Amino acid sequence: MRKPSPAMIVALLGLFVALGGVGMAATGGNFILGKSNSADATTYLSAPVAGKTALNVSNLNTTTGSSALRLNVASGHPPLTVNSATRVPSLNSDLLDARDSTYFLPKTGKAANSDKLDGIDSTGFIQGKGRTYTLAVAVPAGQRFEPSPGIAPGFFNIMFDCHANGGNFLWAKNLASTEINLFVDDRDTPNVFLAPNTGYIPLPPTATTHWEQRPQADHGTLLVQGVPTGAPQTVATIEVVTLDRGTNCHLQVQALITRM
């Protein structure tokens, strides 16, 4: 048997290392499958394949922990960069902005009840279908004041004529397209709202009615029931206080509007 030449021995040793040892593919060398490869420069793959992926990595093994791709980076570095914001179908992410799913409210979930709103307990709010209205204003002598927006837009409003030193008038105004029921409750003795209009008044659409206010301080309640334009049946309870100051009039209103 002939003795192998030195060149043959070197070639056989290289093949043994490549097949049986740790694969070392230096920059510019071949990528060896099934072995560890390294490089000191970026590796690029360009495959302009129409309608298909440029790279397809598959691992169909059913053993626990089997996956098709693993990316390792130093702590604090993103493992992947992309150049598109297009949604990736079927991508299941474990975290969103480093937050686990328990930090987010599910689609059909219910947020935890808050004990207060702006520091106010629930007893400080009207619940249901009601709302409130408040007004305090000084009306110059010789002028008519009409709140805008009205106490109940599309339903009811008031007007006030301040003549000072007596002769002041409070007006009720129907803003609905149907008749409303107006009830006048005298809160003082003698009557705050003087004749001719006291008690119950059916008020036609767009109509008004008025009362002459007593000198000095007056106080009364208006109860209004009807169907506002484009809204369900509504009831409004309106407290009115007026004060003749001689040079002007003070008008104060507090109302509760409830839709049935």
pLDDT digits (tens, 9 = 90+) for 6-57: 444 444 444 444 444 444 556 777 888 888 888 888 888 888 999 888 888 8
Residue 15 lies in a domain: no
Residue 162 lies in a domain: yes
SS3 assignment, position 27 = coil
Please report which confidence band the pLDDT of residue 145 belongs to, taking 50, 70 and 90 as the band edges.
very high
In a domain, 81, yes or no: no
CA distance 223 to 183: 5
Rounded Cα–Cα distance for residues 238 and 219 (Å)? 11
Range from 149-163, 205-219, 235-249 carrying the lowest mean pLDDT: 205-219
Percent pLDDT > 70 in the chain is 82
Residues in the chain: 260
Reported as a single tens digit per residue, the pLDDT across 171-221 is 999 999 999 999 887 655 554 454 445 578 899 999 998 877 766 677 788
Average pLDDT over the chain, rounded to whole? 81
What secondary structure letter does DSSP report for 39? -
Note whether residue 39 is domain-resident. Answer: no
In a domain, 59, yes or no: no
Residue reference for tokens 């179908």: 89
| Domain span holding position 193 | 130-259
Assess if residue 233 is contained within a domain. yes
Q: What is the CATH number of the domain that holds 203?
A: 2.60.40
Residue 62 lies in a domain: no
Task: Please name which of 244, 232, 239 lies closest in space to residue 255, comparing C-alpha atoms.
Answer: 239
Q: Mean pLDDT: which of 3-7, 17-21, 228-232 is highest?
A: 228-232
Q: Is residue 7 part of a domain?
A: no
Higher-pLDDT residue of 219 and 234 is 234
C-alpha closest to that of 235 among 146, 156, 150, 125: 156
Q: State residue 151's pLDDT score.
A: 93
Q: How far is CA 245 from CA 135, 159, 166, 186, 227, in A?
A: 18, 18, 10, 22, 37
Nearest-angstrom CA–CA distance, 161 and 213: 10
Phi-psi region of 133 (alpha: psi -120 to 50; beta: other; left: phi over 0): beta
The number of folded domains in the chain is 1
| 58-72 tens-digit pLDDT | 999 999 999 988 899
